[in-house]
Structure 1
Amino acid sequence: MTDGVFRFESFDLDVVRGRLSREDQQIHVEPRALALLCHLVKNRDRVVTKAELLDTVWRGRFVTEAALTTALRTARRAVGDDGAQQRLIRTLQRRGYQFVAPMTPVPATAPAGSDPVVSVPGPAVRSRASGADREVIRFCRARDGTRIAYAVTGDGPPLIRTANWLTRIDVERTVAMWSHWFDGLTRDRQLIRYDERGSGLSDWTSPGTSPEDWIADLDAVVDAMNLDRFPLIGVSQGGAVALAYAALRPERVSRLILTGAYARGRLVRAADDNERDAAAVDLDVARLGWLTQDRSFLRFFASQFQADAAPERWDEFVALQRETTSAEHGVRFLEALARIDVSALAHRVRCPTLIIHSREDQRVPVTEARQLASAIPDNRLVLLESRNHLLTASEPAWAVFLHHINTFLAGLATSD
């Protein structure tokens, strides 16, 4: 096993400093994925078992194999590999993994023997090379002093995505349930997203869970970006925040996109005792999952977001949720979302609005989309043939979704 700098293809990996670069441009990689990559490279002469990776990268902390799968996917993506090609990192069934790319050792200048470390320069945390891969993470402060982390990805006209259920912007784009969103939404435009207070890289000390708190987070990001007018997209819970923001800040929002969205939380929209009981049970199951960190409860919750996805995608979602916030904050978010109600603001939205929803959405019923369409003055409702709350990359509805969004945003050039 040799420590130092290793060159493979067009990449340089400094396993001492924990630094990956390409053509002298540093590539930020999520710390555990980078540690995994470094360990595989240092031990490239042998197969590394799953148990060894879990013990080395997570240092004895209990995590599921889904966390390892996510880190492995992130490492592969950082060096232009994937599970199908396995050009650089090969999976050997029932044995483990091995780094197989030819490489050239380069003398390292840092002291040998130290563990890989990823520094966090401020205020920018992450930077990528160009086009849709160009990304930077910065911080700003809301009016009450809460620190909000936001990411800017791609080039072109801006599109802001409101925070939705427990994001973490530094790893989100490497997760299969979200990665295709970045490829689609950053095409010829700049995507701006953020972690709301209490989750991700934003402050956890001020976990406010009111619409006013969430609007303040968005205001902080818009002010930091120095944007006057922009299109806004809200996904799921983020749709309620986007709707409220468009109604209360009409001078700022040029177009509004609501996908899988709702104005009323499940407890609010329950129409009878049966629906109220079902809403209460759903909340109790999710609450119990968070408080006990029981995988079966959390997996059931995850399955509602992508009903037709493979079970490993649910496990990936569970692993991502666990990295976003504490159990205490997670429960507070759940209870706030069940009771949110911004429906009284819908008629005040004045910008053109596109409402997209899956016909058989298993998390938010399509009736909520129709309710939004009946209340927002200038809107178009598009129903997709899908059961998924968050569309997958492989289903036909995803291409339809992107087509409608691109067509809708293209109208900015002629109408605004």
Structure 2
Amino acid sequence: MLPSTQQIRFCASRDGTRIAYGICGNGPPLVWVAHFVHHLNFDWDSPVWWPWISALAKRHTLIRYDFRGTGLSDRSGVEFTFEKLVEDFEAVVNASGVRNFALLAMSGGARIVLPFAVQNPDRVSRLVLYGTSPAGPLTAKAPPERVENMQVQLKAFELGWPQDIPGFGTFLTSLHIPDATAEQARSFNELLRLTTSAANAVALLRTLVESDMQDLLPNLRCPTLVFHSRQSAVLPFDDGRRVAALVPDARFVPLESRNHILLGTEPAWKQFVYELDEFLPCTSHDGATESFDELTARERDVVELLAHGMSNADISVRLKISAKTVRNHVSAVLGKLGANSRAQAVAVARDAGYGRRMMARTGSRQRSD
């Protein structure tokens, strides 16, 4: 069912900044960290963002928020640092009351969620990374030409944010959605004006493009799906490929599009929604309870630790059993759950409620199985 209304609420980040977040739809929770050009209120009527909202909230309880300095969140007197953006995300997640959730993060905002996802593998059941890069173009390892190009863009933002030079908004819109219809382009251009001020736009964008989280990507333990448009003018296709290559067992889906923000009217949209629906089931797997009933007590212990993102070596130490025994248990678990891979087994387990609690200390359990 398509969402007809949304609840808009506010929470306080660690430094007291009020962050606006919205909730709509029904189903398992899905937290969406969107592109920075969006607005909780005006997105609802946007021909660019409404297809995203309706697709994501059709089968899920969708939770999204406005970045500090933008939309309905506090705009005046706010400080922009990467750490504060991470704290804002954590504040929204905690205020919404969700414990275990799927997560969709796009563009520069995708790097914001990585510290949380790595540190809380029991809370993020599945992760979708859309149109992002391992590190921003203003980091130490960025090629000189990308650094120079981003510096020029930031200066253009400072001098020409839509309310100052109308042509700049048109340029920025054509950069993000070159194949937009006239109505989509007009709406996105207007959204640029409504989202934030020039000063906040520059400060927020600079914070995002200076962030480097590529060292965290190999530490992700949740099933991960990576999307990237083949001909995006905002972030090269190779950025998405490198993200997927760095995340263990991640699946990479190239999108045949020139648009950095996929549009609901283009052919690639159907592929995107199909892949997303396959990866983010709206309910627990049918028959999952029956499958888990077939597991032995020790296999359930192993599943619990798998759902927490532990490696075989970690499980061996935690349960005080040999590495070979762990491998045997994992193989048995995959067979009984009908999973084709470790990542799929983790996803099924998390859908069934595993990984939401830390298992009691097992040192007192002396089984040698």
TM-score (norm 2): 0.73
Q: Work out which of the residue numbers 367, 370, 379 in structure 1 matches 2:241.
A: 370
Which of 50, 68, 72 aligns to 1:179? It is 50
Q: Secondary structure at 2:104's aligned position in 1?
A: strand
2:157 counterpart letter in structure 1: A
Shift of 1:275: 3.3
1:197, 1:206 within 8 Å by CA — same for their partners in 2? no
Q: Match of 2:365?
A: none
Taking the TM superposition and a 5 Å limit, the aligned residue runs for 1:372-387 are: 372-387=243-258
Q: Using the alignment, how far apart are the partners of 1:313 and 1:228 within structure 2?
A: 36
Corresponding position of 1:166 = 37
What is the CA deviation profile of residues 247-298 of structure 1, one whole-angstrom value per residue up to 9, with x for unaligned ones?
Answer: 2332221110011122312223875433333232233223321287211122
- The CA deviation at 1:393 is 1.2
Q: Check the 8 A contact 1:168/1:199 in 2, yes or no.
A: yes
Asked whether the equivalents of residues 28 and 283 of structure 2 are also in contact (C-alpha less than 8 Å), the reply is no
| Within-5 A mapping of 1:303-314 | 303-314=174-185
Aligned to 1:191: 62
The within-5 A match list for 1:33-48 is none
User: Which residue of structure 1 lines up, in the alignment, with residue 126 of structure 2?
Assistant: 255
User: Which residue of the other structure, out of 143, 146, 164, is the alignment partner of 1:293?
Assistant: 164
- Counterpart Cα distance in 2 of 1:196 and 1:186: 20
1:324 and 2:187 correspond: no
Q: Give the structure with the higher percent strand.
A: 1
CA separation in 2, counterparts of 1:143 and 1:271?
Answer: 31
Deviates more, 1:160-169 or 1:221-230: 160-169
- The CA deviation at 1:344 is 1.7
TM-score by length of 1: 0.65
Q: Which amino acid aligns with 1:210?
A: T
1:349 aligns with 2:224: no
Q: Name the CA distance, whole Å, in 1 between partners of 2:23 and 2:272.
A: 22
> For residue 207 of structure 1, what is the amino acid of its counterpart?
V
Cα displacement (A) at 1:152: 0.4
Counterpart check, 1:244 vs 2:111: no
Deviation at 1:398, TM superposition (A): 0.3
Higher-helix-fraction structure: 2
The code of the aligned residue for 2:273 comes to L
Q: Does 1:225 align with 2:88?
A: no
Partner SS, residue 304 of structure 1: helix
Q: Is the CA contact 1:351–1:378 (under 8 Å) kept in the aligned structure 2? A: no
Is contact 1:167-1:195 (8 Å) kept? yes
- 8 Å contact 1:154–1:188 — kept in the other structure? yes
Q: 1:233 to 1:183 in 2, by over 3 A?
A: same
- Per-residue deviation, residues 99-148 of structure 1 (Å, max 9, x unmatched): xxxxxxxxxxxxxxxxxxxxxxxxxxxxxxx8521311111112222111
Deviates more, 1:373-382 or 1:266-275: 266-275
Matched letter for residue 180 of structure 2: A
Closer/same/farther in 2, CA of residues 302 and 168 from structure 1, 3 Å limit: same
Between the two proteins, the alignment pairs up a number of residues equal to 287
Q: Write the letter of the residue equivalent to 1:223.
A: N
Hey, what does 1:394 align to over in structure 2? 265
Question: 2: distance between equivalents of 1:276 and 1:266?
Answer: 6
Percent identical residues: 37
Counterpart amino acid of residue 21 in structure 2: Y
| Superposition RMSD in Å | 2.1
Judging changes above 3 Å, is the alpha-carbon distance between structure 1 residues 224 and 372 closer, same or farther for their aligned structure 2 residues? same
Q: How far does the alpha carbon of each residue in 1:223-267 deviate from its partner, in whole angstroms, 9 at most, with x for none?
A: 112111100000212211133331233222111001112231222
Alpha-carbon distance between aligned partners in 2 of 1:254 and 1:199, rounded to the nearest angstrom: 28
Find 2:207's aligned residue among 306, 311, 336.
Answer: 336
| Partners of 1:137 and 1:152 within 8 A in 2 | yes
- Over residues 7-39 of structure 1, what are the superposed CA-to-partner deviations in whole Å (9 max), with x where a residue is unaligned? xxxxxxxxxxxxxxxxxxxxxxxxxxxxxxxxx
Rounded to whole Å, the distance in 1 between the matches of 2:137 and 2:283 is 34
Tell me how far 1:206 sits from its aligned partner. 4.8
Describe the shift of the 1:386–1:151 C-alpha distance in structure 2 as closer, same or farther (beyond 3 A).
same
Which position in structure 2 is the counterpart of 1:4?
A: none
1:140 aligns with 2:17: no
Structure 2 CA distance for aligned equivalents of residues 291 and 358 of structure 1: 26
**Counterpart among 151, 165, 168 of residue 22 in structure 2:** 151
Q: Which has the higher contact order (CA 8 A, sep 6+)?
A: 2
* Structure 2 unaligned regions, length at least 5: 286-347, 351-369
The corresponding residue for 1:214 is 85
